[in-house]
Structure 1
Amino acid sequence: MALRSRGTSQQGPVRSGGIRTAPSPAAPVVAAEDGSPTVTAWLRLGKDGRLSAYAPAEGGVARWTENAPGGAWTGPELVAPGTGLQSHLSVAQGSDGYVHLAALRHTPMQDGGTWTELVHAIQYQSGRPVKSWAVIGSPYSRKAWEDGLRMGHPSVGVDSSDNVQIVVRNAFGGVSARGQDPSGKWRGWDDLNGNGADRSISIVAAQGGRMVIHAPCDSGIHVYERPKGDAEFAWRDEPIEGTPATGTVNGVETGEDGRVTFFLRDAASGELRAWRDEEPAVSIGGKGSGPVALLRHEIDGVDCMVLAQRDAEGRPAIAVYPTEQEAAGVTWTPVGEACAGAPALAVDGEGRVVLGVFTPEGRLRIARQRTDTAGLAFAAWQQI
């Protein structure tokens, strides 16, 4: 994979059984050649109150982990090692705390050609080994390996019952999906139809097993929705209006009955837009690049949305407003120096909002919410 930014491990050896071993250092790849992020939603809180961060790396996945809730970090260490892994990583987490990773893998074939398949790995606990990559496969046979090469980047989601769903833009511009049933067994591939989809599609999970897939295309954004866990995805007949920049459609649950607010960055203006249900999209300004990071969190007793983006100057910028009140206006505030890839948001083990970014050199930087002042203000940046 093309390397744009690197970091080196600063952690000491760790104990594995009765043998003391040193984890392998990792070289993170946080942005592609064109500057687009290779991973989003990469900052996650474990059940033990420790945060972990993830990024694609040469030969696997780079992971940073807090030593204790709110404490110092170790990493980046190389986890989920593998050959042929492509440069985009999708990260999701269930209510059980398990972190799910999905990627595409290329393998040379003996008779020529390149076999493309989706792979999936799980981290059960913070800082612990990641389970080896499991093959999810391909919607195509080996005879049709050239079709596999035209697949897009996979997107992984976890529903409210902790069942995993992986979706991918297929070779013909439609959407292919494969999910787990409650027993953990992977079902067969579903062809959800459609055509002309962009390379990057998104999947968003909400309560009650609801999941929504967005596949941008030339005629708008195709939407596929599953209202509950035991239902099938249904394709809306008409795409919704919008011309999002590649890889910028995402969403978060903001209301009752699994209501989700979705966001995209307009390809022409660079501004962010938000919409939900059948309401028209609302511009929320914030010219910049890449997707916006999303976090719903209570601040000073108010249910708020916290957004983070890489602004037009390449710096991280933050916006905060009452949930579902985009129409009242959104103000963006730069909060640091130039960053690469996409920012990420999380709540740490002490209930503080945490903003994470990667430096242009691939180093991890963290800023935590101050608790000695009203509103959302951040303490000094911590470079890992």
Structure 2
Amino acid sequence: MAVWSARKSKRPADAPPRRSAATGGAPLPDASSLPATTDWLVRGKDGRLTAYAPVEGAVLRWTEKHPGGPEWTGPEKLPAPGIVPHLSIAQGADGYVHLVALRRTRLADGTPATDVVFALQYQSGLAVRDWAVVGNPYPNDPALAAQIGLPAAVIDSDGSLHVFVRNVGGGICGRSSVPSGKWNKWADLKGSGIVGDHTITASITTDGLMELVAPTAGHILRWTQETKGVKFQRAEDIPARAEAGSLSSERTGAGRLTHFWHDADDGTVRAWRPSDKAPSVLGSGAGTGPVATLRTAVDGHDCTVMARRDAATGRPALAAYPTEDEALGATWTLTGEPCAGAPALALDGRGRVVMAAFGTDGTLRVARQKPEPGLALEAWARV
């Protein structure tokens, strides 16, 4: 199903990072520090795509000039003093984008301070509000606070922001806002043995129920809600060993999520939902980092499109299969040049599949679906 065309670059692989007047002469993202996340490409309510990349003390932002491209503005430099170069990006039904990060600073007396913070963007390309502090589960113990993991975030069906971190015991702590804008206290969701810093994935079903997954050395932990607004409860564990930081989730049916990850042993993509006895294997070959997923129609068929970074070559790879029909398998197609972090997927304002990745030189690259049957993509373009 996946057919690919690529355009070779004349830029030497070892060339120094480009600099942009839009960032005041600051370098583009350092490829070695780009985190492997897949939520960094977002379509706004006006149909324009926006890409985000954290750098030291700031977030860089690229925005389409018009829905469907091809021209972009940016990168713009959004100040974010003290944040760890990692973002969890959550978007609600209203189109508002929440940038959630971990900030490390020092108080006036030199004491280290670690806090989850977030900034809100109301419309594509417009100003981002000042970073607001959510805090941490250990407000009276800076040493413990410094050990929490990177945040995961999700917006519920009421438009409230929920953030989650791995706590020092290897479980999860979470804090939730309410429609009035106030925040509930940090809650300990229990659990133990979670591995890695960026390991929690937070999702919401079509029924408005949130679900969390996180890997341990021997299995994948799950938390679910029975009904909206109630506390999380521990659910059936997934019998699999996932590479830390590789989990992602997609709505694949009414009230259903399918979870994806790279197997910790052979690096293949696995998929699972509660109706499965065991995880399914989707294609051969190993990948790294999280699997980007996108559910959309291809030739009138409900399909799940996947993207990942290939472990052997570092290049982006694309695959697709009929949604919830993992038995048919998937074939991975390599494309383009080696990338940093993980590729992302989105639908643009014209309904076309867009695959985006950061090159090893820190530049943003984009490929769009061709206006023809199947899932053929145009040549990669540098932004």
Kindly indicate whether structure 1 or structure 2 has the higher relative contact order, using CA contacts under 8 Å at least 6 residues apart. Answer: 2
Separation of aligned partners in 2, 1:168 and 1:296: 27
1:100 and 2:98 correspond: yes
Query: Which structure 2 residues correspond to residues 217-236 of structure 1 after superposition, within 5 A?
Result: 217-236=216-235
Match of 1:117 among 115, 118, 143: 115
Matching residue of 2:341: 341
The SS at the match of 1:207 is coil
Match of 1:319 in 2: 319
2:363 equivalent in structure 1:
363
Deviations 1:38-77 (A, max 9, x none): 5321111111111100010122111000111123011111
SS at 2:304 equivalent: strand
Q: Quote the Cα distance in structure 1 between the aligned partners of 2:30 and 2:291.
A: 15
SS at match of 1:208: coil
Q: Which residue of 2 aligns with 1:152?
A: 149
Unaligned residue ranges in structure 2 (runs of 5+): 1-15
1:254-293 alignment to 2 at 5 Å? 254-256=252-254, 258-279=255-276, 280-285=278-283, 286-293=285-292
Deviation at 1:31, TM superposition (A): 5.1
* CA deviation profile, 1:286-336 (whole Å, cap 9, x unmatched): 411111110000111111111011112111111011111111111111121
Q: How big is the shift at 1:235?
A: 1.5
Partners in 2 of 1:53 and 1:184 — Cα distance? 26
Aligned match of 2:180: 183
TM superposition shift of 1:183:
2.5
Q: 1:9 maps to what in 2?
A: 20
CA RMSD of superposed structures (Å): 1.8
SS in 1 for 2:38: coil
Range with greater deviation from structure 2 (36-45 or 131-140): 36-45
Cα distance change on mapping 1:180 and 1:26 into 2, 3 Å: farther
Offset, 1:184: 2.9
The DSSP-based 3-state class of the residue aligned with 1:176 is: strand
Q: Which residue of 1 aligns with 2:238?
A: 240
How big is each residue's C-alpha offset from its partner over 1:235-256, in whole Å with a ceiling of 9 and x where there is no partner?
13x5322211111111010011
Aligned sequence identity (%): 47
1:91 aligns to 2:102 (yes or no): no
Q: Distance in 2 between matches of 1:152 and 1:224?
A: 17
Using the TM superposition, give the Cα deviation of residue 162 of structure 1 relative to its aligned residue in structure 2, in angstroms.
Answer: 2.0
CA contact (8 A) 1:93 1:100 kept: yes
Q: Which amino acid aligns with 2:51?
A: A
Deviation at residue 24 of structure 1 after TM alignment:
4.5
**Which residue, out of 50, 53, 77, partners 2:51?**
53
Secondary structure of the 2:119 match is strand
1:25, distance to aligned residue in structure 2 (A): 5.8
SS at match of 2:183: coil
CA distance in 1, matches of 2:17, 2:37: 15
1:374 match: 373
1:211–1:31 distance in 2 versus 1, CA, 3 Å: farther
CA contact (8 A) 2:160 2:176 kept: yes
333-342 or 38-47, which moves further after superposition?
38-47
Task: List, as ranges, runs of 4+ consecutive aligned residues in structure 1 with deviation greater than 6 Å.
Answer: none
Contact between 1:10 and 1:74, CA under 8 Å: does it hold in 2?
A: no
Aligned mates of 1:182, 1:278 — CA distance in 2? 34
SS in 2 for 1:377: strand
